[in-house]
């Protein structure tokens, strides 16, 4: 058997392209904003994670440009060796103060943050309890750690406790959960998780990629939203969403951060965040601290769009965050709807299996603090127009069957 046989047999993308329904890799001709130029035409952007709208903020852009002028384009090495700038230290110090933690470690990407944290703090004699709908990077971090991983049903505290009860007393235990689940936009049940952790002697880690800058006083995140900063042992976050840059971080005690700095392979053996990205994240954090009202703006526009879609009878799921999933159920129906929306000037994200269970496909829409009500009304009207004309799932079952029959000839 040839190693590449699996590549030759993979035809999902080919099917979508042949039916003119391929929804991925659309390219921008402009910067990321609430309205963008994408492939040559105007598109309302409700499919990015630019929650605070800071990717085009003049202060953030200027800080990034000045960093390139001062430090150049890259660090040419890892933080562990030659790749640490004074700005890396500033960013870690200010993040720790903002989150009320002793220390912060920064990583080159958000995905790498989860790999680096979990693989360092958990080992062969430990057990990780992982919500079934946690981000893929958490799962990969668990695998890299060699700890035993137990998955509990999504946001199911009875199942979490049942799993905790099964763990031997001599094991170290880490409960890992998304603060805000990236597909459905739900908050985790953090008060119950922290109570169970205390009862069974476990540590708690929250991936707050979609909660930082979104929830809590001044955007301090999910733990702050629940008033549980002192009970969450590790807060992980990213710079690619609310902080308009690239990278990620871990906030914890100084002792644990020092351990991770000296034992985390994804931290030690990866190049450090480039100067432009460090400066952008630092400027975005400082802007957030000076303008906490942007968090309220984000909440307002998200609630406004929720009502706008509900009034228009769009089948949305209940969510807590500036993430509003729209039910489409069938993968091909999702592709079709996204194509129609894009052609009419609205960009959204198709979410199909395995990112969601089979038969539970959604269109993921997400919102930005700088969106306007007029823009949301325009987008909602376009979504309604597409959904009013959307064929049934049976139509797409026939499309799939016809395609497969054609391939067999």
- Catalytic option among 48, 64, 145, 182: 182
Residue 392 is a catalytic residue = no
Catalytic residue selected from 241, 245, 319, 339: 241
Catalytic status, residue 26:
no
Is the Cα dihedral 80, 86, 89, 95 positive or negative?
Answer: negative
Alpha helices by DSSP H, 264-322? 265-268, 275-290, 293-311
Q: Which residues contact 179 (CB under 8 A, 6 or more apart)?
A: 187, 188, 190, 206, 207, 208, 209, 210, 211, 212, 215, 221, 222, 223
Distance of CA 267 to the CA centre of its chain: 20
Q: From the candidates 210, 220, 225, 371, give the one annotated as an active-site residue.
A: 210
Distance of alpha carbon 121 from alpha carbon 223, whole angstroms? 20
Return the closest-CA partner of residue 260 out of 101, 129, 80: 80
Residues facing 37 on adjacent strands: 42
Pairing of strands 248-252, 103-107: antiparallel
Tokens of 148: 């035993």
171 backbone dihedrals φ, ψ, rounded to 5°: -95, 145
Instruction: Give the number of C-alpha atoms closer than 13 A to the C-alpha of residue 280, restricted to the C-beta side.
Output: 26
300 a catalytic residue: no
Residue 95 has φ and ψ, to the nearest 5°, of -65, -45
Active site residues: 182, 210, 241
């Amino acid at each position: 058997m040839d190693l590449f046989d699996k590549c030759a047999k993979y035809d999902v993308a080919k099917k979508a392209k042949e039916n003119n329904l391929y929804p991925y890799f659309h390219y921008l001709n402009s910067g990321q904003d609430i309205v963008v130029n994408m492939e040559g035409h105007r598109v309302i952007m409700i499919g990015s994670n630019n929650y605070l709208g800071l990717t085009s903020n003049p202060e953030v852009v200027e800080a990034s440009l000045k960093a390139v002028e001062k430090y150049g384009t890259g660090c040419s090495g890892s933080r562990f060796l030659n790749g640490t700038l004074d700005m890396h230290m500033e960013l870690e110090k200010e993040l720790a103060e903002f989150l009320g933690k002793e220390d912060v470690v920064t990583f080159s990407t958000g995905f790498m943050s989860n790999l680096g944290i979990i693989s360092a703090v958990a080992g062969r004699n430990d057990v990780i309890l992982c919500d079934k709908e946690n981000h893929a990077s958490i799962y990969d971090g668990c695998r890299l750690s060699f700890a035993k991983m137990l998955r509990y049903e999504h946001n199911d505290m009875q199942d979490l406790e049942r799993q905790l009860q099964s763990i031997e007393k001599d094991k170290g235990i880490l409960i890992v959960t998304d603060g805000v689940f990236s597909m459905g936009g739900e908050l985790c049940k953090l008060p119950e998780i922290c109570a169970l952790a205390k009862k069974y002697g476990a540590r708690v880690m929250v991936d707050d990629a979609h909660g930082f800058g979104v929830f809590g006083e001044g955007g301090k995140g999910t733990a702050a939203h629940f008033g549980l900063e002192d009970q969450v042992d590790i807060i992980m976050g990213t710079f690619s969403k609310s902080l308009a840059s690239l990278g990620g971080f871990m906030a914890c005690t100084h002792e644990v951060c020092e351990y991770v700095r000296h034992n985390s392979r994804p931290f030690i053996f990866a190049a450090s965040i480039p100067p432009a990205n460090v400066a952008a994240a630092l400027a975005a954090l400082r802007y957030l601290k000076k303008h906490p009202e942007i968090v309220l703006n984000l909440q307002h526009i998200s609630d406004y769009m929720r009502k706008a879609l509900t009034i228009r009878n769009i089948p949305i799921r209940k969510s807590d965050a500036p993430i509003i999933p729209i039910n489409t159920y069938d993968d091909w129906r999702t592709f079709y709807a996204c194509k129609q929306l894009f052609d009419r000037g609205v960009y959204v994200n198709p979410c199909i299996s395995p990112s969601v269970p089979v038969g539970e496909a959604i269109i993921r829409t997400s919102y930005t603090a700088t969106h306007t009500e007029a823009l949301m009304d325009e987008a909602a009207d376009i979504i309604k127009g597409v959904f009013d004309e959307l064929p049934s799932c049976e139509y797409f079952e026939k499309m799939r069957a016809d395609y497969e029959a054609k391939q067999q000839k």
